[in-house]
Structure 1
Amino acid sequence: MTKKITILGAGLSGLLTAYHLQNKDFDIEIIEARNRIGGRIHTINSDTAQVEMGATWFNEIHVNFKNLLSELELGYFEQFMQGTSYFEPFSAAPAQEIQIPQNSPSYRVVGGTSQLIETLKSKLTDVPIHLNEVVSNIDFDNEKIKITTPNKIFETDYVISTLPQALFANDININPPLPQKLTDIAKKTHTWMQDSIKIAFVYDDPFWRNKNYSGTLFSNVGPITEFYDQSNAALNKFALCGFISSGMEMYTQEERLEKLKIQLEKIFGQESLNFTSYHETVWAKETATKSAKQIGFMYPHQNNGHPLFRESYYDNRLFFAGTETANQYPGYMEGAVIAAKNTAETILKLQSKV
Structure 2
Amino acid sequence: MKNTVLIIGAGAAGLMAAYTLSKAGKHVTVLEARNRTGGRIHTLNKELFFKETELGAEFIHGDLPVTKQLLKDAGISGRNANAEMWSYKDGKFERNSIVAGDWDALTEKLDYLQQDIPIWDFLLKEFPGDEHGELRKSLWAYVSGYDTADPRKASTFSLRKEWENEDQDAQQRIEGGYCAVINYLAGECKNKGGQVFLNAIVKQIQWQKGLVKAITEDGMEYEAEQLVIALPLGVLKVKAGSNGAVVFDPPIHQHAKAIQQMGFGAVIKILFEFNTPFWLDEQTKKMAGDEIEQMGYLFSEEEIPTWWTQAPNKSNVLTGWIGGPAAEEKADIPDKEILEQGLQSLANIFNRDYNDLKGKLNAYRIMNWTADPYTRGSYAYDTVEAPQARTILNTPIDNTIYFAGEYLYEGTAMGTVEAALSSGLEAAKKVLK
Tell me if TM exceeds 0.5: yes
Distance 1:77 1:205 in 2: 23
2:172 pairs with 1:94: no
1:187-198 pair list within 5 angstroms: 187-191=260-264, 194-198=265-269
Distance 1:139 1:199 in 2: 39
Contact 1:36–1:131 (CA under 8 A) maintained in structure 2: yes
Change over 3 Å in CA distance of 1:105–1:320 after alignment to 2: same
2:389 pairs with 1:324: no
* Residue in structure 2 matching 1:240, options 318, 342, 345: 318
Q: Which residue pairs with 2:146 in the alignment?
A: none
Q: Which residue pairs with 2:197 in the alignment?
A: 130
Q: CA deviation at 1:88?
A: 3.1
Q: CA deviation at 1:224?
A: 1.8
Instruction: State the TM-score, normalizing by the size of structure 2.
Output: 0.69
Q: Which residue pairs with 1:227 in the alignment?
A: 307
Change over 3 Å in CA distance of 1:254–1:5 after alignment to 2: same
Structure 1 counterpart of 2:432, which letter?
Answer: L
Q: Which residue pairs with 1:295 in the alignment?
A: none
Distance 2:236 2:333 in 1: 28
Q: CA deviation at 1:250?
A: 4.4
Q: Which residue pairs with 1:22 in the alignment?
A: 22
Structure 2 counterpart of 1:216, which letter?
Answer: Y
1:143-162 pair list within 5 angstroms: 144-151=211-218, 152-162=220-230
Distance 1:39 1:287 in 2: 11
Distance 1:150 1:103 in 2: 45
Contact 2:332–2:371 (CA under 8 A) maintained in structure 1: no
Distance 2:357 2:364 in 1: 12
Q: Which residue pairs with 1:345 in the alignment?
A: 429
Count of aligned pairs between the two proteins: 330
Deviations 1:244-288 (A, max 9, x none): 241333432222222221221222354754121111111111111
Distance 2:416 2:194 in 1: 25
Distance 2:343 2:234 in 1: 35
Contact 1:140–1:175 (CA under 8 A) maintained in structure 2: yes
Q: CA deviation at 1:62?
A: 2.1
- Equivalent position SS for 1:21: helix
2:50 pairs with 1:49: yes
- Equivalent position SS for 1:324: helix
Deviates more, 1:7-16 or 1:124-133: 124-133
2:36 pairs with 1:36: yes
1:51-200 pair list within 5 angstroms: 51-82=53-84, 86-89=86-89, 93-99=90-96, 104-124=169-189, 125=191, 126-141=193-208, 144-151=211-218, 152-168=220-236, 170=238, 171-178=245-252, 180-191=253-264, 194-200=265-271
Calculate the aligned-residue CA RMSD, in Å: 2.8
Q: CA deviation at 1:86?
A: 4.1
> Which residues of structure 2 form unaligned runs of 5+?
99-166, 239-244, 286-291
Structure 1 counterpart of 2:430, which letter?
Answer: T
Distance 2:37 2:380 in 1: 28
Q: CA deviation at 1:143?
A: 5.4
Q: CA deviation at 1:189?
A: 2.0
Change over 3 Å in CA distance of 1:38–1:265 after alignment to 2: same
> Which residues of structure 1 form unaligned runs of 5+?
292-297, 350-354
Q: CA deviation at 1:165?
A: 3.5
2:213 pairs with 1:216: no
Contact 1:137–1:174 (CA under 8 A) maintained in structure 2: yes
Q: CA deviation at 1:201?
A: 0.7
Deviations 1:121-165 (A, max 9, x none): 222222211111111111113753211112211111110011124
Q: Which residue pairs with 1:334 in the alignment?
A: 418
Which of 1 and 2 has higher RCO (CA within 8 Å, sep 6+)?
2
Distance 1:321 1:142 in 2: 19
- Equivalent position SS for 2:61: coil
Structure 1 counterpart of 2:246, which letter?
Answer: I
Change over 3 Å in CA distance of 1:249–1:167 after alignment to 2: closer
Q: CA deviation at 1:21?
A: 1.0
Structure 2 counterpart of 1:187, which letter?
Answer: Q
Q: CA deviation at 1:22?
A: 0.9
Contact 1:3–1:25 (CA under 8 A) maintained in structure 2: no
Contact 2:209–2:399 (CA under 8 A) maintained in structure 1: no
Distance 1:143 1:99 in 2: 55
2:347 pairs with 1:265: yes
Distance 2:187 2:312 in 1: 23
Contact 2:204–2:247 (CA under 8 A) maintained in structure 1: yes
- Equivalent position SS for 2:297: strand
Distance 1:251 1:175 in 2: 35
Contact 1:166–1:186 (CA under 8 A) maintained in structure 2: no
Structure 2 counterpart of 1:238, which letter?
Answer: N
* Residue in structure 2 matching 1:254, options 329, 336, 341: 336
